[in-house]
Amino acid sequence: MSWVNPNGVDCVLTGPETQCFCTHRYRQHKTDFAAIPVERPIPQPCSKCKCKCYHLMPKAVGGICRCHCKHEATEHKVVPPFLCTRQNCKCTGFKTSVTCDCGFPAYKHTDVSETAEERQARGHPIGHPCVFQAMGGLTGFSSLLPGMARMDASGGPLANALSPSELDAPITERDHPFLRAHKAMIEAFEREFNSDKKETENKSG
């Protein structure tokens, strides 16, 4: 189970404690099947509420994310299209302005439930067979990283989410706050790296 952006990057790999839109954890949803259903996404109903299938709850800085109707996610129904339960609210379904680290808004992401074979078919790594229930998309420590920081085929750079020209582009006001805060240090490192590279090339030439 993974939360995937339009470029195919697994921005979040779901683990046992990853929260669903219904506020319950992934481990509290159906995860074991005698035979894998053909339906996609795979129906994984919650054992604690009326939730029919696991949907990742987007995270907002400082608390629960809000819908465009101004009400919190927890004030919406737990089944699609996740209508608001507040009286007289004209919400047509939960939609938040929260933006992922990858740059896409949360509503542009989809929950992908797949078998190991299906995951391999789309070129993403799998882990060793696991005897523990509800491990979801976790295959190792790197699975705990956000998709854009994960250096494997499920992450940003190696999933061709960003072209070489985009990766080498100068840092601007549109970039992530972390990059902007360390702009001077990054640029100094790049200058030193390029200088050392040029010096090495001159010596070898």
Rounded Cα–Cα distance for residues 35 and 31 (Å)? 11
Each residue's pLDDT tens digit, 71-97: 999 999 999 999 999 999 999 999 999
Where the chain has pLDDT below 50, the residues are 158-159
Residue that has been written with the tokens 């854009």 in this structure = 148
Tokens representing 122 are 């789309």
The Cα-based distances of 149 to 113, 144, 152 in angstroms read 22, 10, 9
Non-local CB neighbours of 97 within 8 Å, separated by 6+ positions: 68, 105
pLDDT for position 130: 64
pLDDT for position 159: 47
For residues 67 and 91, the answer to whether their CB atoms sit within 8 Å is yes
pTM: 0.68
